[in-house]
Amino acid sequence: MSGYHSPQVDVPVRLNTNESPFPPPTDWVKSIGAIAESIDWNRYPDRAATELCEAIARRHGVAPEQVFVANGSNEVIQTILLAYGGHGRIVATFEPTYQMYAQIAHVTGAEVVEGERRADLTLDPIEIERVVARHQPAVTFLCNPNNPTGLVEPRENLEALLEVASGIVVVDEAYAEFSDWSAMELVSEDKPIAVTRTFSKTLSMAALRVGYVVGPTWLINDLRIAALPYHLDSFKQAATIAALQYTKEMEERVEFIKAQRARLEAEMRSLDLEVWTSGSNFVLFRSSAHDAKTLWSAVLAQGVLVRDCSSWPRLEGCLRVTVGTESENTAFLAALRASLPA
Ligand code: PMP
């Protein structure tokens, strides 16, 4: 196996990993010292992260027993696959999608089956039914909105999947705040659905490494069995509880990102690029007239790093740009314009 890599280059404008372009609220950053001083450092953390689960549960109007928190949503996904993947089990994805589902599933020894999308990268519910009926996956992943396409998954597709699902359905909502609907409302005790979220994107705290999942109590209990004891340190629990006071402020930034996304999409279309309409904080695009690697290098030479997806299966010719600050987006558009010979 090879690992998952997101190449980093030291450039002035980094629009390659879908982070928030803004730092977290200053008041939260200033409170970090006092939070650190309040920790009983000689004691193990609250293993169940009780207070944090309560705070997250309040945010979504669910019970604390329906919440499991881990070190980023990647660790949430890993814990789900430790509980429900593994040797002899099948994990289903619909490609192209976030690569860590297959990567972690393989690490646990599970077999991965890949459902296909249409040529325009949307997903046909008939394909969902085919994959589930044929393979009876223990875990099926849907990413809403999908990374790397940015496309919002229609609610009907998730409903079709829940109708036929043989195992757990994981809806990865790392980018949900930028979309017009969320599967969170479908979570209930009698459905095998788990919805994952992260503090890394809208909440501007990728460095803190916090993600969580909301699902039925029995599923959350299984995750608690699979997780290591004390996997979530005391400081992180307290810092995340404090961060939850600022969610309103963070969510106000979503409107700004969405307006900048519309600007990027419109300007890229005016440059004759193929652009997938995004419900996320990034945009996938392709030039029919220019080689993707040449274009990526030309944009990079002007100090702007985007993600080169062109070697990924089914994404020939594609690049992906994260929505940045207004000036970062201006720099990207200028670099792009200069890199597309007339
Ligand atoms: N899911 C998706 C779809 C993502 O794009 C990412 C980050 N690139 C993650 C999960 C992981 O996020 P984190 O571990 O930072 O919460």
Say what the pLDDT of residue 240 is. Answer: 97
Number of domains in the chain: 2
Ligand 1 atom closest to Cα of residue 6: 8
113 neighbors 131 (Cβ within 8 angstroms): yes
pTM, rounded to two decimals: 0.96
Say what the pLDDT of residue 30 is. Answer: 97
Say what the pLDDT of residue 123 is. Answer: 97
Q: Are residues 240 and 290 in the same domain?
A: no
Q: Are residues 190 and 297 in the same domain?
A: no
From 147, 179, 195, 231, the mutation candidate for ligand 1 (largest count of ligand atoms within 8 A of CB) is 147
Six token digits for residue 42: 């000689």
- Any residues with CB less than 8 A from the CB of 238 and at least 6 apart, and which? 35, 38, 39
Residue 85 lies in a domain: yes
Say what the pLDDT of residue 163 is. Answer: 94
**CATH label of the domain that carries residue 253:** 3.90.1150.10
Residue 6 lies in a domain: no
Q: Are residues 219 and 255 in the same domain?
A: no
Choose the final residue of a domain: 228, 245, 262. Answer: 245
Q: CA of 6: how far to CAs of 9, 19, 201, 335, in Å? A: 10, 13, 16, 21
Ligand 1 atom closest to Cα of residue 198: 16
State the distance from the centre of ligand 1 to the C-alpha of 73, rounded, in angstroms.
6
- Domain extent, residue 172, equals 26-245
Q: Are residues 185 and 284 in the same domain?
A: no
Residue 72 lies in a domain: yes
Residue 123 lies in a domain: yes
Say what the pLDDT of residue 128 is. Answer: 97
Low-confidence ranges of the chain (pLDDT < 70): 342
State the distance from the centre of ligand 1 to the C-alpha of 43, rounded, in angstroms.
30
**CATH label of the domain that carries residue 113:** 3.40.640.10
Choose the final residue of a domain: 245, 277, 298. Answer: 245
Q: Are residues 78 and 195 in the same domain?
A: yes
Q: Are residues 287 and 208 in the same domain?
A: no
Residue minimizing CA distance to atom 1 of ligand 1:
174
Q: DSSP for 190-213?
A: TS-EEEEEESSSTTS-TTT--EEE
Ligand 1 atom closest to Cα of residue 199: 16
Q: Residues enclosing ligand 1, CB less than 6 A? A: 18, 72-74, 98, 143, 147, 172, 174, 198, 200, 206, 211
Say what the pLDDT of residue 251 is. Answer: 80
Residue 3 lies in a domain: no
State the distance from the centre of ligand 1 to the C-alpha of 72, rounded, in angstroms.
7
Choose the final residue of a domain: 245, 280, 309. Answer: 245
Say what the pLDDT of residue 256 is. Answer: 95
Residue 1 lies in a domain: no
Say what the pLDDT of residue 247 is. Answer: 86
State the distance from the centre of ligand 1 to the C-alpha of 125, rounded, in angstroms.
24
Ligand 1 atom closest to Cα of residue 147: 3
